[in-house]
Amino acid sequence: MKSHSVALPLALAAGLLAPSVHAQNPDPTDIRACTAIESDAQRLACYDHSTGRVNLPVAQKRVDTETATPGIFSRDRKETTGTVEPNTEVAKPMSLLDSRWELTSESKLGTFNIRGYKPVYVLPVFATSNQNKQPSSPNPDNNVPQSEQLDNVEAKFQFSVKTKVWQGIFGNAGDLWVGYTQSSRWQVYNAEQSRPFRETDYEPEAMLVFDTNYHLFGWSGRMFGIGIDHQSNGRDNPQSRSWNRVIANVGFERNGWTVMIRPWWRIPESRRTDDNPDISNYMGRGEVQIVHEWHSQEFGLMLRDSFRGGSRQHGAVKFSWSFPLAGNLRGYAEVFKGYGESLIDYNHNATYAGVGISLLEWY
């Protein structure tokens, strides 16, 4: 039995939410980033800033300096005797990566502000034609002895947040972030088995992120990150699964497109206690995440591969689609094909499809 305690969610809860954008021209990406802010005052200020409301004439923005709330954007305020003068600077709309990772000096918001990370969604319907009813592993201690009575249709949901814990490392060149992602597959329609949670994966991580500024084949290189990632399902043998990785993140952008290249190296474990010694040949050694925004919709494509030949060559592909429904509520659908939809299924090949609602998409 392994201990898979996860302490990061408690640390993340200590932060106060902060605005996610710093752009004066209206831009759907910037406005959407405001929705992740729970503080009413800061969220309103974020919307005002994104839509250009900070540039209203002085007569419409006259305030009492003794009762005025300090602006959350340092360049928005020029104090005079009794008025707040309009900001005459014109900033470019913020890119998707900058709005989520605070890359430029204008977008820095300080530390311990809870932010969205990976997609946050609820899928009441998540179905497969090939449910993994008897998980296995090369380690004899991790082979389920008999077939489980599982439905092919279940529910899935994911929660993911991050926060910056150190801003301005190496002469303000980098920031240190910590993140936490939890995803669950729930046999909610399986009344005969008391509706169990089939699999829940826990993933805390820490990443050092740097702002970059270079161009390659028409793409803008916007960020580079290097971090440590732990992922486990917190279960006893024979269903225990886990691994630890060092992951690099290289981000590119171009006209509504975002590409994240994520190679990783698995930190070796003792073969005697390793739950899944061949996991890299199935869950892969790297992936590419492609995101495209078009007419308020977001399309995502994940490609993952083991980068090995012969019997060790395996991979996966996932397509996701997010679209507006009403207000901040968005529809979400995903289709997955290949190995490793979850940790318990790391060496199980299947097709999965789900549909539901989303509160936050990629990055």
Q: Which two tokens stand for residue 352?
A: 């999965």
Q: What SS3 class is residue 345?
A: coil
* Mean per-residue pLDDT, 241-263: 96
| CA 331 to chain CA mean position, Å | 17
| CA 310 to chain CA mean position, Å | 32
% pLDDT > 70, the chain: 75
Q: Is the pLDDT of residue 80 over 70?
A: no
Q: Which two tokens stand for residue 15?
A: 């932060």
Give the per-residue pLDDT at 33: 64
Give the per-residue pLDDT at 51: 61
* Mean per-residue pLDDT, 277-300: 95
Q: Read out DSSP for 233-250?
A: ----TTS--EEEEEEEEE
Q: Is the pLDDT of residue 46 over 90?
A: no
Considering only residues 349 and 363, tell me which one the structure prediction assigns the higher pLDDT: 349
Burial state string for 195-234 with b = 16 or more CB within 10 A and e = fewer than 16: eeebbbbbbbbbbbbebbeeeeeebbebbebebebbbbbb
User: Where is 34: in which H helix or E strand?
Assistant: helix 28-34
User: Terminal CA-to-CA distance of the chain, rounded, Å?
Assistant: 34
* Mean per-residue pLDDT, 284-313: 95
Q: Is the pLDDT of residue 181 over 80?
A: yes
**320-353 pLDDT tens trace:** 999 999 888 899 999 999 999 999 999 999 999 9
Give the per-residue pLDDT at 331: 96
Amino acid at 92: K
Is residue 164 a contact partner of residue 175, using CB atoms and an 8 Å limit? yes
Is residue 285 a contact partner of residue 307, using CB atoms and an 8 Å limit? yes
* Mean per-residue pLDDT, 285-303: 95
Q: How many helices (H) and strands (E) does the chain have?
A: 5, 13
Give the per-residue pLDDT at 62: 31
Segments making up each domain of the chain, as ranges: 22-93, 113-360
% pLDDT > 90, the chain: 65
The single residue listed with the structure tokens 């509520």 is 329
Give the per-residue pLDDT at 172: 82
- The CATH number of the structural domain formed by 113-360 is 2.40.230.10
* Mean per-residue pLDDT, 103-112: 91
Q: Which two tokens stand for residue 272?
A: 């005697």
CA atoms within 13 A on the CB side of 253: 16
Amino acid at 191: A
Is residue 306 a contact partner of residue 279, using CB atoms and an 8 Å limit? no
* Mean per-residue pLDDT, 205-226: 95
* Mean per-residue pLDDT, 45-70: 46
Lowest mean pLDDT among 23-27, 87-91, 175-179: 23-27
Considering only residues 132 and 56, tell me which one the structure prediction assigns the higher pLDDT: 132
The pTM for the full model equals 0.75
Is residue 203 a contact partner of residue 181, using CB atoms and an 8 Å limit? yes
| CA 303 to chain CA mean position, Å | 16
- Show contacts of 328-333: CB within 8 Å, 24+ apart: 328/35, 328/359, 329/357, 329/359, 330/357, 330/358, 330/359, 330/361, 331/355, 331/356, 331/357, 331/358, 332/119, 332/121, 332/123, 332/356, 332/357, 332/358, 332/361
Amino acid at 110: G
Mean pLDDT score across all residues of the chain: 82
CA–CA distance, 264 with 251 (Å, rounded to integer): 15
CA atoms within 13 A on the CB side of 100: 20
Active site residues: 230, 232
Considering only residues 248 and 90, tell me which one the structure prediction assigns the higher pLDDT: 248
